[in-house]
Every structure is written in structure tokens, then in C-alpha cells.
Amino acid sequence: MKELPQPVQNLKQILNFIEKKNYKISKLVVITKNHTYEKIQLLYDYGHRDFGENKYQEARDKFPLVKIKPDEPFITHHVGPLQSGNARNIPQIFDWIHGAGSVNALQILEKASLKNYKKSSKRIHYLIQLNLTREPSKLGGFFLEDFESLFERKILPTENEAMIFKGFMTMGPSDGNLEISRKVFKELRKIRDQYKKDGELSMGMSGDWQIALEEGATILRIGTAILGNR
């Protein structure tokens, strides 16, 4: 019997773990940044459907190379901060946006998604990103007090027929401290319960996805643990 390619084995292992432990997730997004389209193809042919990138240009060049089965979805996710220069192009090639972390980015997205919707009837799904580690990082996200104030004033969540608010996203600390990961994942879940009961929780990466599951993640974003080092 031919052995399955390594990325497929890795993905299977994670999916088996989730099934065995009876976690209910809605998506596992494989993050393919800095990896070739051939690796996406391997996983797509195996049956995986959700893929994420963090740069518009890389995604624009890479995604069209993947051979898609007719009548089968290929679901694309933008993760990480929205570069304001490219935000207006995002709705053309992405279905989900995980890094809506500023009013400015959301305004650009709102306009761009409406324009794209008129041409293609395509809706985008987005998650509000919170920065709960309070790292002054370029990774983006609202601080909690800003989010709360914008929500109270009904500036958030942005919604129109082209743009659907689906829930929340956050990231653990950049130093990989797992106690802090757990703390911010717990916090995000509370925020979700308070502001959007049925909302998604996009949290958990290669280093902390098991903790994220324990804390109620519904969407995982995993790169390295499936595809290897970038």
C-alpha cells in the first residue's frame, strides 16, 4: 500500500484526535502561506476544502493554480492583519476574513464587498479580531475596551448584504506561552457568549490548538503542524 503524503498524514492525525475526543468544530483551516500550491493540491485531492493565506498577492497567484473539482467548494480564508493597500481586493478572492481588526479596515471591506457582490453575488464572512494579549504587535486586533465601546455605539458589527459577521478571532502570545494562550482563549469565549451566542471562535494554531479545543474553539488555523516548517 502506498503511504499517504506527510501533510495528509498530519491532517488525518489532527482530525482523528478531534473526532476521538468528540470536539465539535466547524472548520479546520490549513494555513498555506510560504508553501507551494502543490501542497494545497495534495490536501484538496484528499478531500480538504478550507485553506488560508495571509497575503493577498501570494493567494492571488497561488489559489488559481489548484485544480478544483466542478461542483466542489474551495473555501479561502484571509488570516492576519488586512494590509490597507490590499483590503479592497480581498473580497474578490477570499470567502472568509479572520483579521478584521480596525474600523478603517472594516470600512474598506464594506465598500469592496458591496462592489464585488453586485458583480458576483458573492458574500464574505468575517470575524472580528481581538488583541487580548495586549502585545503592541503588528498582528492587529481591537483592544477589548475599544471593541466594547464601538459595539455599544453600534459602529460594530458592520453588516450589509455582502458581508456577514460570523464571530471572533484571536491569537496567543508571540512567545508561545501556553498559559497565556489559555487565558486569552477563555476570554474570547466569554466575549463570544456575551456578544454573539452562536458565533464562531477562530483560535488555535500549531502550538496551541489542543488548548484552543479545550477552551471551545470552533475554527482552528493550522499551518506548520500539517505542512512542516515554512
Site residues (CB under 6 A) for ligand PLP? 31, 33, 54, 79-80, 205-207, 221-225
Residue 62 to residues 33, 34, 41, 97: CA-CA distances in angstroms? 10, 10, 11, 18
HEC secondary structure over 131-151:
CCCCCCCCCCCECHHHHHHHH
List, in order, residues 6 or more apart from 193 with CB less than 8 Å away: none
Residue 218 CB, shortest distance to ligand PLP, in Å, is: 15
Q: How far is the CB of 211 from ligand PLP (least distance, A)?
A: 13
Rounded to the nearest whole angstrom, what is the least distance from the CB of residue 80 to ligand PLP in the complex?
4
Q: Of 31 and 106, which CB lies nearer to ligand PLP in the complex structure? A: 31
Sign of CA dihedral 124, 167, 34, 209: negative
DSSP string, 142-188: B-HHHHHHHHHTT--S--BTTEEEEEEE----TT--HHHHHHHHHHH
For the bound state, the minimum distance from the C-beta of residue 160 to ligand PLP, rounded and expressed in Å, comes to 25
Residue 24 beta carbon to ligand PLP: minimum distance, rounded to whole angstroms: 21
Neighbours of 18 (CB within 10 A): 17
CA 33 to chain centre: 13
Nearer to ligand PLP, 12 or 115 (CB): 12
Nearer to ligand PLP, 10 or 162 (CB): 10
Nearer to ligand PLP, 167 or 223 (CB): 223
Task: Tell me the three state secondary structure of residue 125.
Answer: strand
Q: Looking at beta carbons only, is 173 or 223 nearer to ligand PLP?
A: 223
Nearer to ligand PLP, 92 or 206 (CB): 206
Q: Which residue minimizes CB distance to ligand PLP? A: 223
CB of 102 to ligand PLP, least distance (A): 15
- Residue 89 vs 206, nearer CB to ligand PLP: 206
Q: How many Å apart are CA 70 and CA 138, to the nearest integer?
A: 39
Q: Count Cβ neighbours within 10 Å for each residue of 110-126 and write b for 16 or more, e otherwise.
A: bebbeebbeeeeeebbb
To ligand PLP, the closest distance from the beta carbon of 225 in angstroms equals 6
